[in-house]
Amino acid sequence: MANQYKRILLKLSGEALLGKQGHGIDGDILTLYADEIKSVHEEGIEISIVIGGGNIFRGVKGATEGMDRVQGDYMGMLATMINSMALQDALERKGVHTRLMSAIRMEEIAEPYIRRRAIRHLEKGRVIIFGAGTGNPYFTTDTAAALRAIEIESDVILKGTRVDGIYDSDPEKNTDAKKFDSISGDKVLDMRLDVMDLTAFTLCRENKTPIIVFDMNVPENFKKVVCTEEPVGTTVVWDEPENS
């Protein structure tokens, strides 16, 4: 069966790297992600990745504790670079050629983000990891993911989380929460569902970039989303789906 997508952007949360630890990076989770990404890459899919830094530092949280918000956000960007470097190392050890591109110049460890160069890397079969968010404070890594996906003309944004899709309420608090197989972007906004921050979501809406939310911690899920028509997670679409 032909792959559904040619070029994708995978958004991973920093918190997902915690695994069962209270802080830092769980080596088992990192290995799982590297295996999943390698499996999809071997299918000829062009893969780019944005990963958060919440397992190391959250600028917003720092601001609530008295830290300057701009300073905190820059610290958060550096945290994303730590996670990006860890994921790059895990992929390279498995034989996957990668490029780490940073929105903030740090030539010793990463290339500066240049759109045309990023697209060329993808065309050459390299997995790209976009680090340091957008390079600007007040913008989340969700917004960075949406922006980069649009810039490189990604077919879809895949948001890999620790939950298996979008629900009408928090499934950890409400056992009767209903999961959507697909849902329109307008309904997400009307119901104020926590899929992405509003800036990121608006970017996707304006450019009609589809979003799929799925559980990245289930082996083979990532490959099923990309390479099969098997329903996995929840798809956000910009035309009203029948079952939303």
In percent, the amount of the chain with pLDDT more than 90 equals 75
Per-residue pLDDT, averaged over 191-216, amounts to: 94
pLDDT, tens only, 9-53: 999 999 888 888 778 899 999 999 999 999 999 999 999 999 999
The whole-model pTM stands at 0.92
**C-alpha to C-alpha distance for 103 and 111, rounded to whole angstroms:** 9
**Residue 80, H or E segment:** helix 69-93
SS3 string, the chain, reads: CCCCCCEEEEEECCHHHHCCCCCCCCHHHHHHHHHHHHHHHCCCCEEEEEECCCCCCCHHHHHHCCCCHHHHHHHHHHHHHHHHHHHHHHHHHCCCCEEEEECCCCCCCCEECCHHHHHHHHHCCCEEEEECCCCCCCCCHHHHHHHHHHHCCCCEEEEEECCCCEECCCCCCCCCCCEECEEEHHHHHHCCCCCCCHHHHHHHHHHCCCEEEEECCCCCHHHHHHHCCCCCCEEEECCCCCCC
Q: Please indicate whether residue 59 or residue 117 has the higher confidence score (pLDDT).
A: 117
pLDDT, tens only, 214-223: 999 999 999 9
pLDDT, tens only, 148-170: 999 999 999 999 988 899 999 88
pLDDT, tens only, 97-116: 999 999 999 999 999 999 99
Which CATH fold topology does 1-162 show?
Carbamate kinase (3.40.1160)
- pLDDT at residue 121 above 90? yes
pLDDT value, residue 235: 95
* Domain regions of the chain by residue span: 1-162, 167-190+206-211+238-244
Distance of CA 33 to the CA centre of its chain: 12
pLDDT value, residue 1: 45
pLDDT band for 2, please (50, 70, 90 cuts): low
79 token code pair? 């945290």
pLDDT band for 240, please (50, 70, 90 cuts): low
pLDDT, averaged across the chain:
91
pLDDT value, residue 63: 57
In percent, the amount of the chain with pLDDT more than 70 equals 94
pLDDT, tens only, 53-96: 988 886 566 556 778 889 989 999 999 999 999 999 999 999 99
What is the sign of the dihedral through the CA atoms of 140, 141, 146 and 152?
positive
